[in-house]
Amino acid sequence: MKKVLFVCVENSCRSQMAEAIFNSIAGGGAESAGTNPAKEVDENAIKVMDEIGIDISGKRPKALTPDMNEKFDFIVTMGCIDGCPITPREKTIEWDIEDPKGKGIEEYRMARDEIKQNVKKLIERVEND
């Protein structure tokens, strides 16, 4: 299985959800990181993931590092492409998913559902690559 890295700014919401959804469907192979990691995973992200039976409460945000370029086959950025200059363009896929941080729970659900749809398509691509 190819390895996938999901990146957003704080690694507290979108990339954490993407990592967990990918791993729950594909059985592993994904990690996540942030360009400016938060101290903890967003509480609303934890809640909306709980709604679909995935627990991310034990996760911790971590920083995107240059050595990750070698470790992963695909790097998926979520609205931080300009802030992710260290990711190689040939490996980088941009998902322009709006950051729900600071918004209502419904925006978190919409982001989660959009991420889930994108992850399913990505898994097909990864399996066929």
Angle at which helices 14-26 and 105-128 cross, to 10°: 50
- Tell me the per-residue pLDDT of 33-73, one tens digit each, with 9 for 90 and over: 998 899 999 999 999 999 999 999 999 999 989 888 889 99
Q: Is 59 left (phi over 0), alpha (psi -120 to 50) or beta?
A: beta
> What kind of architecture, by CATH, is found in domain 4-122?
3-Layer(aba) Sandwich (3.40)
> pTM here?
0.93
Nearest to 99 by CA among 111, 88, 91: 111
Does 74 have pLDDT greater than 70?
Answer: yes
Residues 21, 71: Cα–Cα separation, whole Å: 20
What amino acid positions are annotated as catalytic residues? Answer: 8, 80, 84
